[in-house]
Amino acid sequence: MTEAPVQITSSRNGTETRHVRVAILGAGFGGLGAAIRLERDLGERDVVIFERHSEVGGTWWANSYPGAQCDIPSHLYSLSFAPNPNWTRTFPLQPELAEYMRDIAHRFGLHDRIRFNTTVEELRWDDERSIWHVKTDRGDWTADMVIAAPGPLSEPRWPEIPGLDKFKGRLIHTAEWDHSVDLRGKRVAVIGTGASAIQVVPAIAPTVAKLSVFQRTPPWIVPHTDRPITALERFLYRRFPILQRIPRAWVYITRELLVPGLVYRPNMLRVLERISKRHMERQIRDPELRRKVTPNYRLGCKRILPTNKWYPALQRDNVELVTDSITEIRPEGVVTADGRVHELDVIVAATGFHVTDIPLAHHIYGRGGRNLGREWEGSPQAYRGTTIAGYPNLFWLVGPNTGLGHNSIVFMIEAQLNYIIDALRRIGRNRTIEVREDVQRRFNERIQAKMPKTVWTTGGCASWYIDAKGRNTTIWPGFTFSYWWLMRRFDPESYTIAPVRPPARVAEPAAA
Residues that bind ligand N01 (CB under 6 A): 69-72, 153, 159-161, 174, 191-197, 214, 216-217, 303, 326, 350-353, 462, 464
Rounded to a whole number of angstroms, the minimum distance from the CB of residue 265 to ligand N01 is 23
Vertex 154, ends 392 and 172: CA angle to 5°?
155
- What are the C-alpha distances in Å from 85 to residues 90, 185, 247, 301, 412? 11, 40, 12, 34, 22
Smallest separation (angstroms) from ligand N01 to the CB of 160: 6
Query: Measuring CA to CA, which residue among 350, 405, 353, 354 is closest to residue 200?
Result: 350
Q: How far is the CB of 450 from ligand N01 (least distance, A)?
A: 20
Closest CA to 251 of 70, 10, 100, 456: 70
Residue pair 353/153 in contact by the 8 Å Cβ criterion: yes
Nearer to ligand N01, 56 or 145 (CB): 56
> Residue 389 or 404: which CB sits closer to ligand N01?
404
Distance between CA atoms of residues 465 and 184, nearest Å: 36
The bridge status of strand 120-126 relative to strand 394-396 is unpaired
For the bound state, the minimum distance from the C-beta of residue 441 to ligand N01, rounded and expressed in Å, comes to: 28
Q: Which residues contact 237 (CB under 8 A, 6 or more apart)?
A: 83, 85, 86, 243, 244
State in angstroms the smallest separation of the CB of 28 from ligand N01: 13
Q: Which of 211, 210, 215, 221 is nearest to 193 (CA)?
A: 215
Nearest to 411, CA basis, from 269, 271, 259, 265: 259
State the minimum distance, in angstroms, from the CB of residue 452 to ligand N01: 22
Do 471 and 451 form a contact (C-beta atoms < 8 A)? Answer: yes
* 29-42 and 409-427 helices, crossing angle to 10°: 40
Helix (H, G, I), strand (E, B) or coil at 46: coil
Is the Cβ of residue 69 or residue 416 nearer to ligand N01 in the bound state?
Answer: 69
Q: 125 vs 353, which CB is nearer to ligand N01?
A: 353
CB of 327 to ligand N01, least distance (A): 10
DSSP conformational letter for 307: -
Cis-peptide, bond into residue 503, ω within 30° of zero: yes
Pick between residue 74 and residue 351 the one whose CB is nearest to ligand N01: 351
Q: What is the 3-state secondary structure (H, E, C) of 196-251?
A: CHHHHHHHHCCCCCEEEEECCCCCCEECCCCCECCHHHHHHHHHCHHHHHHHHHHH
Minimum CB distance to ligand N01 smaller for 37 or for 342: 342
Between 32 and 190, whose beta carbon lies closer to ligand N01?
Answer: 190
Q: Around 331, how many Cα atoms within 13 Å sit in the side-chain half-sphere? A: 1
Nearest approach, Cβ of residue 190 and ligand N01 (Å): 9
Report the nearest approach of ligand N01 to the CB of residue 382 (Å): 19
Nearest distance in Å: CB 227, ligand N01: 16
Residue 88 to residue 103: CA distance in whole angstroms = 15
Which residues lie closer than 8 Å to 291 by C-beta, 6 or more apart? none
CA–CA dist 434, 440 (Å, integer): 10
**Would you say how long the chain is, in residues?**
512
CB of 399 to ligand N01, least distance (A): 16
Between 145 and 161, CB nearer to ligand N01: 161
